[in-house]
């Protein structure tokens, strides 16, 4: 379901975005950043650091939160802020869900805005990221 | 836990320090690559010059420059939070100036990392009038793994 600023209410849930970030996506992200810590793409390097596998980069996950909000928001507005608080690592090739709900609907600066609570949930049902976003609806 | 605070006057003096890194450009290539990285889809079309682009584009700038070096005060470090914020959408074709800022350095006692030092840095992207258009922030914690509980960041 897409965001509808006319009917939006606190407690509304965003559609869950199911993802499985793979090694290819992570390598593209490293290339975009031009940063290549080996534990993001080399399983032996990851194991040498005590990790069970290659990791989804933490900074990448703020963009995945952004995507979940963007797909829900569509043309109804734009994203003013998205924030990720990292709780535990996610491994590449493992499913994650991005869930969210509307925490507050309000007006500021003459525009309608909403605060969103977000989370990345791993396959064990644990939150790996707690997130937050602010969206502004088009007039 | 150290016998005394590691936040010396020298470390505290870093807070608020700004470093102009240089210009970044919202180009079709940067926007296309950023969309592909986050959605897994190569966009069939892109916004025209002057039109709004998805905020993902900010990630394409992050590799352009190195921020200010920060002192290594504890044996381990970890990203605990990061964020993007926008005062307005980025626009195709615009040029912004990137400024790196040390926003805060604080110490924490207890919690999952034991004694730890959190450093929040921010890259601000400013337009030609000096107005901040967007920010990308990172909070890193420095800690001693020997004192930390299980868990961790990203």
Least Cα separation, residue A112 to chain B (angstroms) = 14
Are B154 and A56 a contacting pair at CB < 8 A? yes
Place of tokens 């049902």: A125
When pLDDT is averaged across residues A75-97 and rounded to a whole number, the result is: 96
- pLDDT tops 90 at residue A108: yes
Give pLDDT, residue A79.
98
> Which of A25, A56, A86 lies nearest to residue B40, judging by beta carbons?
A25
Q: What three-state secondary structure class fits A10?
A: coil
Contact call for residues B38 and A66 (beta carbons, < 8 A) = yes
CB contact under 8 Å between A86 and B81, yes or no, is yes
Assess contact for A39 and A54: CB atoms under 8 A: yes
- Checking if the pLDDT of B148 tops 80, the result is no
| Strand positions, DSSP E, A54-95 | 77-86
Of B68, B77, B99, which Cα lies nearest the Cα of B153?
B77
Provide, as residue numbers in chain A, all residues whose Cβ is less than 8 Å from the Cβ of B54: 66, 70
- pLDDT band for position B22 (50/70/90)? very high
- Interchain pair A59, B154: CB under 8 A: yes
Query: What is the percent of chain B with per-residue pLDDT over 90, rounded to a whole number?
Result: 68
Rounded to an integer, the average pLDDT of B42-46 is 94
pLDDT of residue A20: 97
Residue B134 neighbours by CB distance under 10 Å: 23
Predicted local confidence at residue B149, as pLDDT: 67
How high is the mean pLDDT of chain B? 90
- Subunit contact B153:A78, Cβ cutoff 8 A: no
Determine the average pLDDT of the residues in A45-65.
Answer: 93
Range B75-94 average pLDDT: 95
Instruction: Give the model confidence (pLDDT) of B6-21 as tens digits.
Output: 888 888 899 999 999 9
Closest approach of B149 to chain A, Cα-based (Å):
12
End-to-end, the C-alpha distance of chain B in Å comes to 24
Chain B residues inside the 8 Å CB shell of A61: 154
Structure confidence at residue B150 as a pLDDT band (50, 70, 90): low
Q: What is the pLDDT of residue B154?
A: 56
A43 burial (CB, 10 Å; 0-12 / 13-18 / 19+) is: middle
Chain B interface residues (partner A, CB cutoff 8 A): 33-34, 36-40, 52, 54-56, 59-60, 62-63, 78-87, 89, 138, 151-154
Check A80 against B40: CB less than 8 A apart: no
Mean pLDDT across A27-35: 92
Give A-chain residues touching B60 at CB under 8 angstroms.
32
The reported pLDDT for the residue numbered B153 is 53
Quickly state the pLDDT bin for A5 (edges 50, 70, 90).
confident
Q: d(Cα B65, Cα B25) in Å, to the nearest integer? A: 13
- Looking at beta carbons, which residues of chain A come within 8 Å of B63? 32-35
Q: pLDDT at residue B3 above 80?
A: no
Distance from CA of A12 to the nearest CA of B (A): 23
Measured distance CA(B51)–CA(B138) in Å, rounded: 28
Q: Residue B145: is its pLDDT beyond 70?
A: yes
Q: Which residues of A touch B134 (CB under 8 A)?
A: none
Who among B39, B55, B80 is closest to A79 (CB)? B55
Distance from the Cα of B150 to chain A's closest Cα (Å) equals 9
Q: Tell me the three state secondary structure of residue A21.
A: coil
* Whole-number pLDDT of residue B41: 92
pLDDT per residue as tens digits for the range B95-116: 999 999 999 999 988 777 888 9
pLDDT above 70: residue B85: yes
- When pLDDT is cut at 50, 70 and 90, the band that residue B144 belongs to is confident
Question: Among the listed ranges A62-71, A124-133, B6-15, B79-88, which one has the minimum average pLDDT value?
Answer: B6-15
Query: How close is the nearest chain B Cα to the Cα of A43, in Å?
Result: 17
């Amino acid at each position: 379901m897409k965001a509808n600023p006319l009917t939006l209410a606190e407690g509304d849930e965003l559609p869950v975005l199911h993802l499985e970030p793979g090694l290819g996506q992570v390598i593209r992200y490293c290339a975009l950043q031009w940063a290549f810590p080996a534990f993001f793409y080399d399983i032996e390097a990851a194991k040498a650091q005590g990790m069970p596998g290659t990791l989804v980069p933490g900074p990448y996950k703020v963009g995945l939160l952004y995507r979940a909000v963007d797909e829900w928001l569509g043309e109804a507005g734009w994203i003013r802020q998205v924030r990720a608080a990292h709780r535990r690592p996610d491994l590449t090739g493992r499913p994650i869900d991005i869930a969210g709900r509307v925490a507050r609907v309000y007006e500021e600066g003459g525009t309608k805005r909403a605060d969103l609570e977000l989370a990345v949930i791993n396959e064990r049902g644990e939150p790996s990221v707690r997130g937050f976003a602010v969206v502004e609806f088009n007039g | 836990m150290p016998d005394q605070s590691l936040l010396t006057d020298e470390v505290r003096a870093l807070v608020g320090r700004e470093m102009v890194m240089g210009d970044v450009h919202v180009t079709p290539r940067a926007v296309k690559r950023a969309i592909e990285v986050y959605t897994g889809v190569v966009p069939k079309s892109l916004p025209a010059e002057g039109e709004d682009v998805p905020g993902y584009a900010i990630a394409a700038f992050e590799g352009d420059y190195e921020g200010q070096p920060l002192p290594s005060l504890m044996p381990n470090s970890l990203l605990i939070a990061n964020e993007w914020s926008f005062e307005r959408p980025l626009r195709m074709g615009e040029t912004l100036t990137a400024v790196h800022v040390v926003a805060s350095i604080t110490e924490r006692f207890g919690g999952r990392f034991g004694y730890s030092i959190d450093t929040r840095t921010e890259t601000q992207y400013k337009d030609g009038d000096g107005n901040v258009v967007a920010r990308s922030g990172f909070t890193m914690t420095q800690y001693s793994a020997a004192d930390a509980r299980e868990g961790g960041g990203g």
